[in-house]
Amino acid sequence: MIKTLIAAGALSAVALSTQAQEVQMSDTIYEIAIQEVKPGMEEAWAEQRAAFLEALSGREGNEKDWTFPAFFTFPEPGPNPVYVGITRWSQLANFAAASEALTPTDTAAAFFETVNMQAFVQARPLDGGDFVLEDYINTPGQVLEVAVRRPLEGQREAFDAGRDAIFGRVAEQPGYIFDREFVTADGWQTVLIGWDSVEAFQAALGVVSLGPEMQEFFGAAEIMAYQAARVE
């Protein structure tokens, strides 16, 4: 499993690096790993995660790591704990080198054996601009929504229109902090949305989910993963 996951990451890095007009090897990359802990392995996950993050922290270009516990899953929560892991790499080249170096290690293998990955993507801001997550998400009690999705075949126009309509309403809700869209090399888009609190997120979800925009958007989208997680 570890070889499959990290090899996939390395392949994504290669794919991104070949798209010279869209992303450069010097561009900042956010690695997003939505991790469902395997049954009965939460203690082992915590131990192996700590060891894995220590190994990552020594890699050149690893700027910051976050792990947030999820409390909301779309469409329905499963029986096991889910965590949202995010790593910011200062350069795509650094991420690619770390992926190659970590593939054969026992530390990486031990960590990945404790989780099922709902999503494992490497993405850059869609608009090509800079983004620093901790400028927005930095206080216990805040909420970070993370969704990985892409248009269904032939539905790009409907996907973009639905997304714009939804986020127009999202930005009007009390407690909204920010939203930012990211893109991977293979066409998946990731959105990060910040909220002041769980209560603000839940209230906004109650409002936005009742609108026709939500149904229209999800009718045009393939969803890989969608979580809301707490900052602790």
The reported pLDDT for the residue numbered 3 is 40
Amino acid at position 191, single letter: V
Regarding whether 198 and 142 lie in a shared domain, the answer is yes
The reported pLDDT for the residue numbered 164 is 95
Sequential pLDDT tens for the chain (232 residues) = 344 444 444 434 444 443 333 445 458 899 999 999 999 999 999 999 999 999 998 899 999 999 999 999 987 888 999 999 999 999 889 999 999 999 889 999 999 999 999 999 999 999 999 999 999 999 999 999 999 999 999 999 999 999 999 999 999 999 999 999 999 988 899 999 999 999 999 999 999 988 888 889 999 999 999 999 999 9
pTM flag (> 0.85):
yes
Query: What does the alpha-carbon distance between residue 171 and residue 187 come to, in Å, rounded to a whole number?
Result: 25
Regarding whether 205 and 105 lie in a shared domain, the answer is no
Regarding whether 181 and 87 lie in a shared domain, the answer is no
At which of 98, 125, 152 does a domain end? 125
42-51 burial, b if ≥16 CB within 10 A, otherwise e?
eeebeebbee
Regarding whether 121 and 6 lie in a shared domain, the answer is yes
At which of 72, 95, 125 does a domain end? 125
Q: How many domains does the chain have?
A: 2
The verdict on residue 74 lying in a domain is: yes
The reported pLDDT for the residue numbered 177 is 98
Structural domain of 116: 2-125
DSSP states along 36-102? EEPTT-HHHHHHHHHHHHHHHHTSTTEEEEEEEEEEEESS---SS-EEEEEEEES-HHHHHHHHHHH
Regarding whether 214 and 119 lie in a shared domain, the answer is no
The reported pLDDT for the residue numbered 52 is 94
Regarding whether 110 and 149 lie in a shared domain, the answer is no
